[in-house]
Chain A
């Protein structure tokens, strides 16, 4: 069958050209003069010339801005002009290509039934200045660092052939793995060979089980165990028995039980509905609704394929919220990258440049969140050299559901139903992949581990499931994440048992072996347990929202996981073994003193002689400077509930402390507050104090916009290095202990959490590149009346500026949390709800000076501060700046009686930040510094 190639020409200015060229120059390719990009469409089918023309005009081009040429492949390639190189890029077979799927569907809608298959690609025309002699080799570097990614794409100088998945017959092949006869060395070799990431005691437990069963496992069974027992799915480090050696030996039996769940139990808040049991944590909202919150990471996939990794990270956490029967209403994202201006020659081999990673990750977050229609309202971006090879991508999602509608109780003879996307070879072994240290080869061998998301299919899932929930059509629901059906079905049937047939699963293309179907991490799928009588109603809903429903088997009540592929049984295992049979890991931790001296803090202190330069430099430093260029490409307004937006102030360019959301469809005045705390710099110095600090920061930020401090819950996300190294595990233990102590201290419970370990990169130099110990605390709070929300921008001239909280200038490696903090926050909340405060902003990175400067930027007003310059940039916890009108001074001070507060200045019409009348910086200069980051 012939294949036609359509080349799309843009008539006018194509904004992509400037973007590519800017990136190329930033990566050091200064000899490039232009990069032209043209879309390619490959259409396979028997088509007449008229039909090809119709395709071009009706489907493939915008007649006002584009034109197309087409030819049957192979096409004669005319030699390129001097100094130019033409190259073409296409997706690898099996990589999700939603546009290609739409071309086929829409062509049929246009009655062009001859269109059989489609694929997409891009042509790049690189023009060099004439000084470049070896253009081919430079082109290769440009492609590798900017234009294509081997993980999901292939490319060629000249003309590419489209990549249709090869059609081979479904293999149905099942191997038997002779595990019973293996020696210990051979067991470890097997684990490594199949990338199972199981250690010796775990492999021996598998061996013992099959010795008892008197047979060897199938490959499907072995892979199922590897997934179910992966760090990603079972959190074995957090459940391990840890022996701590710090002079004397102490034992912690499960970090999660000892430090995280226990804090929630001790606090025992009546408004916590579900903590640590379901896909997301759930708290009370009002009489009618409950809200759920979950944050996950997608670090390893984002390192090798930034767009797809972040894209599917967002999609994955949204499914967690759908998995508690909730409608997603807000997204958060916190991103950690290497320095954007890193010299490309210093990049470890096999690692993408941080600039490329950031642009891909941000585009991936944008694509999924915007298209599915969930506002991205809170987040942060941090830069540290430690994230160069291991970027961190934290994706959070908030959902809302009517109370009492979420069911989690599968019944015997319920049908096991898969909803949503089809299954391909996407993301095989993602769960074990994310549990392993990466090496320079990872990008190539684990190519299948990264996928591209399809947000519109997931939107269909939301539409179906929200309605099915209200109609009571299902008894249990869970999402397909890492481990695919093996995790989802396995978890659903973990106490009751099921019998499913993989031959029923709808595939994207034929040829998948049973283990591939069972483990595929194809996106946008949910698994439901549905009473047979409800199947027709669910099917009707699915038809309405273009969502596929596949019945793959039933809940049996026999306590065993039985999986078939047509005639043959490929899995038949005892649930107890699969879900309880993993031996508890025995780990060793060493707790040593981390960095005692904060060198940069001391530096800041000594350089404070020039307040002006210090402050302006801080404002334009990567971690503090404006993130507007990222925030603005996320839709933060969809669903109409964004009360406090991520950027605020008269010019909407100042950073909010937290977001406030009033969910659409709720009655009353209540809202949700979202904030976060994260500080890798503190993580390097003292993990225990870091945990306190980031808890305090998240709570402080939420209270600053109006959250009730007694109604805040938090999520933990730990990103650490290899826990098998006792020093690394030691800092993890300390961070967990800090979480516990701070949680109980504030009365702020954890409701869910997640860990991503092994964030290390073994470079070809043989050295380990590990990330700083990084803990993200994501806070969700309640504001009782959204009309009382406040923002951080200065409001009116002559108002007073107060510093509230214990402002200690004592030098420590990590500032401690003052004991007064909870009382200060309660007083602040009382003052906010009594409308005594016009603006509030928390002191965090960059200290008081940066907080004051940002308030000036927000209000485009000046401020006079009467404070020692030496304490201006000291970082502290538990403190905020607040703005109070003269009329409210006495009422405000009464609320803060017996608590630390100081009147330190006032708002001025004169647009300058004046400090002790000795330093004066114009607001214009502050704005300029903040909006022009030095690293971009």
Chain B
């Protein structure tokens, strides 16, 4: 049976159909479900094997990209998403989806307070806040405005790193695909957080030169100024991946910018095939 993938369509998702196309090609059976529909039947999530938060501009990026979608996740789906993540089923958040995963604390996910904040509480919200000492869900990493100060759309080269992440495990070839974002600059205010990500093998993808050498922060190879050229990270378990670039926009040879020169390498499809294969083995 093909793994069933739920593509969560938030108010302002716009690469939902793109990623459904990629999942279909990768062997999954994707269904787009509008957020309001899922709200009416939270338990629906359990019947799926794979969860996708697609790219877009949920709530027009008001108050920070992904922030209000993250609030929705915590307000309406905290139980179900926590259970889904804990069960080890694969989750991927792309671009706006990544931003929502980070701002909800699901990623990097190694923050105890973050997990507690995401879990539901029967107490009044004010008490909940006092209990957690006003700690936000995630106060150590963020995706902020690109260092260049503006939105940017260009193709990048990605190096799969993490062998823990079910999406990047076993991949060695460079992935070529576009970015299209204004707030993809991965930053932290704790050096410890970076050390943690490295030691726990949570850095899933980095921006690199076409020849495979490190971008070293150099624009536009690293297109947004992310620390350590980070393009995507996973949770400590490895089943949740968040990334800024759009591998779903490189699944056909004719999408490659140099296809008229005969160059079609670096398909993003293998990332999805990896996740789908993992989902089907669970």
Contact = CB atoms under 8 A, between A and B. Distances in A.
B109 to A, nearest CB: 16
Contacts of B134: 53-54, 57
A686 interface: no
Contact of A111 (B124, B138, B151): B124
A795 B261 contact: yes
B60 A54 contact: no
B251 to A, nearest CB: 7
A636 interface: yes
Contacts of A372: 14
Nearest to B178: A637
B125 A102 contact: no
Interface in A459-473: 459-460, 463
A454 B146 CA distance: 23
Given A60-B63, A639-B18, A640-B248, A50 B126 contact: yes
Contacts of A455: 57, 60
Contacts of B136: 57-58, 63
Contact of B126 (A54, A459, A645, A786): A54
Interface residues of B, number: 66
Contacts of B64: 62
B96 to A, nearest CB: 10
Contacts of A366: 151
Contacts of A65: 142, 144, 187
B200 to A, nearest CB: 19
Given A632-B154, A638-B14, A62 B142 contact: yes
Interface stretch (A14-22, A380-388, A911-919): A14-22
B130 interface: yes
Given A366-B151, A634-B153, A640-B249, A102 B188 contact: no
Interface stretch (A137-145, A302-310, A540-548, A842-850): A540-548
Interface in B39-85: 55-57, 59-64, 67-68, 71-72, 75
B59 A102 contact: yes
B207 interface: no
B95 to A, nearest CB: 10
B189 A373 contact: no
A48 B126 CA distance: 10
B8 to A, nearest CB: 13
A378 to B, nearest CB: 14
Nearest to B146: A15
Contact of B144 (A53, A64, A633, A662): A64
Nearest to A664: B17
A644 B14 CA distance: 21
B148 interface: yes
Interface in B220-261: 246, 248-249, 251-252, 254-255, 257-261
A472 to B, nearest CB: 21
B12 interface: yes
Contacts of B251: 640
A820 to B, nearest CB: 27
B257 A652 contact: yes
Contact of B75 (A14, A109, A546): A109
B57 A370 contact: yes
Interface in B2-31: 11-15, 17-18, 21
B197 interface: no
A678 B56 CA distance: 33
B18 A638 contact: yes
Nearest to A110: B125
A544 B37 contact: yes
A791 B17 contact: no
Interface string A86-110: 0000000000001100110010011
Contacts of B260: 644, 648, 789-791, 793, 795, 839
A19 B254 contact: no
Contacts of B138: 63
A82 interface: no
Interface in A532-576: 543-546
B125 A111 contact: yes
A738 B249 CA distance: 42
B36 A110 contact: no
B139 interface: yes
B151 A648 contact: no
B254 A787 contact: yes
A539 to B, nearest CB: 13
A120 to B, nearest CB: 9
Contact of A64 (B13, B154, B187): B187
B76 to A, nearest CB: 9
Interface in A176-199: none
Contacts of B252: 640
A677 B178 CA distance: 28
A650 interface: yes
A807 B246 CA distance: 44
A64 B68 contact: no
Contacts of A643: 254-255, 259
Contacts of B254: 643, 662, 786-787, 789
A503 to B, nearest CB: 29
A653 B223 CA distance: 16
Contact of A371 (B60, B141, B147, B249): B60
Contacts of A459: 11-12, 14
A789 B255 CA distance: 12
Interface string A334-370: 0000000000000000000000000000000010001
Interface in B183-201: 187-189
B212 interface: no
Contacts of A63: 136, 138-139, 142
A582 B21 CA distance: 51
B180 interface: yes
Contact of B36 (A54, A544, A787): A544
Contact of A99 (B62, B150, B178): B62
A543 B36 contact: yes
A59 B261 contact: no
B273 interface: no
Given A632-B152, A639-B18, 12 more contacts: A16-B149, A19-B150, A110-B75, A111-B124, A371-B57, A455-B57, A459-B12, A544-B34, A634-B153, A638-B15, A648-B257, A664-B18
13 contacts: A54-B126, A60-B63, A64-B139, A366-B151, A455-B60, A456-B60, A459-B14, A463-B34, A544-B34, A546-B36, A634-B153, A635-B180, A638-B55
Q: Closest 5 A-B residue pairs measured CB to CB?
A: A373-B14, A15-B149, A64-B142, A102-B62, A371-B57
Interface of B: 11-15, 17-18, 21, 34, 36-37, 55-57, 59-64, 67-68, 71-72, 75, 124-126, 129-130, 134, 136, 138-142, 144-155, 178, 180, 187-189, 246, 248-249, 251-252, 254-255, 257-261
